[in-house]
Chain A
């Protein structure tokens, strides 16, 4: 089974509108972290936002917020007031497992959602 699933290969949104990018995950570990990264056409990977499995509140960072629904195993990224510069590929990623097991540091990525912001 896929550990991270992003079902929207492409999304369009109008400038100044809000957009939600979907991400579902699969893990049996109670301790995990969820991350969103942005990859513009220039290719670099930019960290956007993090949510821990034990966090009680949804994470927010400026115009980015994470809609974390633990029972549904979803961690959707919400971008408010979209800007042209938000056009990019967005990746959801998960880091699972306690560090002591030695294997809990790698990130598992989804296949990404290409977001295009239009005027």
Chain B
């Protein structure tokens, strides 16, 4: 059973460019979460999505960041007009259901974004 897939694993962008990060959840999982890890820090929640719905985006910066999880295809985290402070590791996690706090979130390998 394939785990959570993320691509690309490494992404380099110049300031002002757009970054698109993709996440395919584990088979049978319908809930996707995005987290950001700045250097030397723990992970910080950004957004929680189900198919075609954003459930909780309380951790997402108000500008330049957006996320989607279409009916078909992977979840996308999009960062427009990247700045150096966006350099971080971006992790996607998935879980099978949101029925309770017992559901474990399984993480992908992360995308390391470097902004030059």
Residues of A within 8 A of B (CB): 31-33, 35, 37, 43-47, 50, 52-53, 91, 93, 95-99, 102-112
Q: With the chains together, A106 CA to B58 CA distance in Å?
A: 10
User: With a CB–CB cut-off of 8 A, which chain A residues contact B65?
Assistant: none
A37 and B41 contacting across the interface, CB-CB below 8 Å:
no
User: With a CB–CB cut-off of 8 A, which chain B residues contact A112?
Assistant: 42
Q: With the chains together, A26 CA to B44 CA distance in Å?
A: 17
Partner pick for B99 among A33, A44, A96, A99, CB 8 A cutoff: A99
Please count how many residues in chain B sit with their CB below 8 Å of the partner chain's CB atoms. Answer: 31
A45 and B44 contacting across the interface, CB-CB below 8 Å:
no
User: With a CB–CB cut-off of 8 A, which chain A residues contact B33?
Assistant: 105-107
Chain B nearest Cβ from A38, distance in angstroms? 11
Partner pick for B110 among A45, A96, A104, CB 8 A cutoff: A45
Partner pick for A111 among B41, B48, B59, B103, CB 8 A cutoff: B41
Q: Closest A-chain residue to B91, C-beta based?
A: A45
A31 and B58 contacting across the interface, CB-CB below 8 Å:
no
User: With a CB–CB cut-off of 8 A, which chain B residues contact A103?
Assistant: 56, 58
Chain B nearest Cβ from A68, distance in angstroms? 14
